[in-house]
Chain A
């Protein structure tokens, strides 16, 4: 039990880097729609996001974290054989996912942090299977299949839910009034609630992407017991909030100034649907992409006739990112791990 073990420090730094990325882009995306619809100022959005993202991560982040930490690769079994390789593998996984996200962000590719970390952890499992430390069948393929299926289902659910929600708003509210402007004004206050909701949901699902491998590694090093302590989740929460404050505000600003079409009623439908879908997945311990779900929800509002123009070519890009991300993250993670082992760490 040594907090100043270089391995622990490396893991925490890598975890914070990953969390920073999540806060800087994914959280900012989820929140940007509130600013875009004119519901809140950037300052207000950042304060709400920071509080509720942190709360979501700490209070509700454990389930997905545990899936990433030990749902895919049988970490507990490997730990008994070789605790060091678990710590090393988890470090490699965070770094691999982090590098891929950094690369994708520079090229504006709609890549998900959740997909990246799942791929990276899988890469670790594959290296161990290749080394005969575990059998190929020991990797929990059923859980993996469930996770991948949820990536497909979550944007669809977002689209369906947002579609129905906007249809209801349209039918019962917008079409009953002579003054659509007043309705939009009323939805502004509702959107403050959905902003809290989406930040909470995002925190509960995405904190795992940084903290899952971190907790598995620290567990292997004996820093923490089984189970995920709140302070580890808090590291993820803090990292994401820092990401939001140091970079995410710029992303929010960019999004906010460009999405003028998303009025409060439309923004409410998209965000409420997204947050609900994400929270259901957090409850089911499934790591999904908030951004992809949000894109699905926006398309749902568009299908309900709520938006002036929606570009569907983004669907193709998202599907491409699904196909590429897992193999790339797995391979990078495997290469980093082999490299670290090769130089004798």
Chain B
């Protein structure tokens, strides 16, 4: 039974803000990627137990992100008026949601095969991961700005400052791309040591890590669209 309170109120006009859960959702992506960094380090040190544990932890974070995403979607009925276009908001939620998803995939992929890595590949892998994490963290800065934008109700200055972060995310993603291409070449050069399965595992791994930076860049781009088209 619904608890009936003796209240007639203006509350119905106030809808739940999707921006706070959106921020929480972005943080989950950041958390997942930070855990993934630890996992890649553990992998390079050959600590597979740690890799397993972290994979499970990332599973939980990804699930939490999913729940938040579903909440946001279910709250956006057609009668809800937002300061931005609701479709644009959903369009940018999608790539943002791919960040923890992809992190989960990479974390799982790491558990599948242990490998003795040559130093050059190990260092490349660590560099790739740290640059990817940097991209995601820059994206988080961008999301932090979104709440300030709302507070000032999209002042021109704030919009300008926020949009200035988008190219920084794009620049970092570009750097990730370069590391990724070079590392892939290096992996194929070592195919004698690594073996076919090793090369396959590592190239897929490198591609999957790069994808995370890709998704951050994609989400940043969608967010720019959302802000400009409001």
Contacts and interface: CB of A to CB of B under 8 A. Distances in A.
A209 B148 CA distance: 44
A178 B152 CA distance: 9
A309 B153 contact: no
B188 interface: no
A247 B156 CA distance: 44
Contact of B148 (A180, A258, A259, A291): A180
A312 to B, nearest CB: 5
A314 interface: yes
A105 B8 CA distance: 5
Interface stretch (B73-81, B96-104, B168-176, B178-186): B73-81
B19 A308 contact: yes
B16 interface: yes
Nearest to A101: B8
Given A166-B153, A310-B13, 7 more contacts: A108-B7, A174-B155, A254-B9, A307-B14, A308-B82, A309-B14, A310-B14
A308 B16 CA distance: 8
Contact of B10 (A101, A294, A305): A294
Interface string B150-166: 11111111100000000
Contacts, number: 134
> At the interface, is chain B mostly helix, strand, loop or mixed?
loop
> Which range holds the interface residue count of chain B?
35 or more
Contacts of B152: 170, 174-175, 177, 180
B70 interface: no
B10 A255 contact: yes
B193 interface: no
B216 to A, nearest CB: 24
A143 to B, nearest CB: 26
Contacts of B150: 308
Interface stretch (A25-33, A77-85, A337-345): A25-33
A299 interface: yes
Contacts of A312: 79-81
B124 interface: no
A306 interface: yes
A14 interface: no
